[in-house]
Amino acid sequence: MRLAVAAILVGLLWAPAAFAAIYVVRPDGTGDFPTIQAAMPMTCALGSQVVLGTQLRLAGGRTLLMHSDGTYEDGYCWWDGSMPPDWGSFGERYDGAARISGVVLDFTTVSGTSVEPIDVYVWENDGGRPGQVLAVVAGANVHVPTWPEWARNVVVLGSPVCVGEVWWVGYWGNWPAEYFITADLDGPGGGVPMTKVGPGLGYPTGWQDIAMVWHPTAALGIGAEADSCPPTPVEQTTWGALKSLFRVATR
């Protein structure tokens, strides 16, 4: 664990956790969280979800995109480094044009199960880092169980958003240091896990690779529910109709 000038960085490094309950968070930020829910192994079928490598095929033709392998060996969070409006955010990069309907977040804690508010984002790519915000759900209440259990939270966007070939998803949580985004240290990877470092912490400011602050990480527990973006409708017309739109000036 490193101590920064004005922030305490916290990480978990215990036995791997491989079980989770799934919670759906509505676009208004609320969710139905049972008091007790049995842990379900991520290597088995989960309701309407069937494991396909690191992707889960969902009902309605959507796909769950995750770079992690479903087991986590660590977890990260900022303490004083989490500051408004979004310093201390975490994000993961994905490739391929798609329509995003929800952001998927795998959380755990060491301080007892709770429900905590976060802001959830979809960003466009800006030079290999999260850029302009394409969608946000503010104040989403996510379920955070006690390690070694972790919870998969599916935060539904108010309206699905179409993204380009490179995009990012993630969150900002202005919460105590005991709440962690899970980290996959030895999975297949493929992601670009990043955190947004605030000013005055002894690190370069802005979006930085996770390894700059903690250690090399294959993937964070951050993903998305996605399907294909519908094609833009094209109105059919005739050349005669097009010509009628223009007037030829005559003397």
- Do the beta carbons of residue 55 and residue 31 sit within 8 Å? no
- Do the beta carbons of residue 172 and residue 42 sit within 8 Å? no
pLDDT number for residue 49: 27
Angle at 61 between CA 135 and CA 20, to 5 degrees: 75
* Domains in the chain with CATH codes: 9-243 (2.60.120.820)
Q: What is the pTM of this model?
A: 0.75
**Is the peptide bond between 85 and the residue preceding it cis, with omega within 30 degrees of 0?**
yes
pLDDT number for residue 131: 97
Question: Which one, of 213, 193, 243, 177, lies nearest residue 90 by Cα?
Answer: 193
Measured CA distances, 196 to 13, 104, 207 (Å): 22, 19, 4
Tokens for 44? 């088995």
Q: Is 169 exposed, middle or buried (0-12, 13-18, 19+ CB in 10 A)?
A: buried
pLDDT in tens, the chain (251 residues): 332 323 445 555 444 454 445 556 555 544 443 322 222 222 111 222 222 223 333 445 578 899 998 888 889 988 778 889 999 999 999 999 999 999 999 998 888 777 788 999 999 999 999 999 999 999 988 888 888 888 888 898 989 999 999 999 999 998 866 789 999 998 888 889 999 999 998 899 999 999 999 989 999 999 999 989 888 655 555 555 544 544 444 44
Question: Which one, of 84, 57, 88, lies nearest residue 226 by Cα?
Answer: 57
pLDDT number for residue 115: 79
pLDDT number for residue 39: 26
Residues in Cβ contact with 242 at an 8 Å cutoff, skipping those fewer than 6 apart: none
Question: Which one, of 184, 170, 115, 174, lies nearest residue 145 by Cα?
Answer: 115
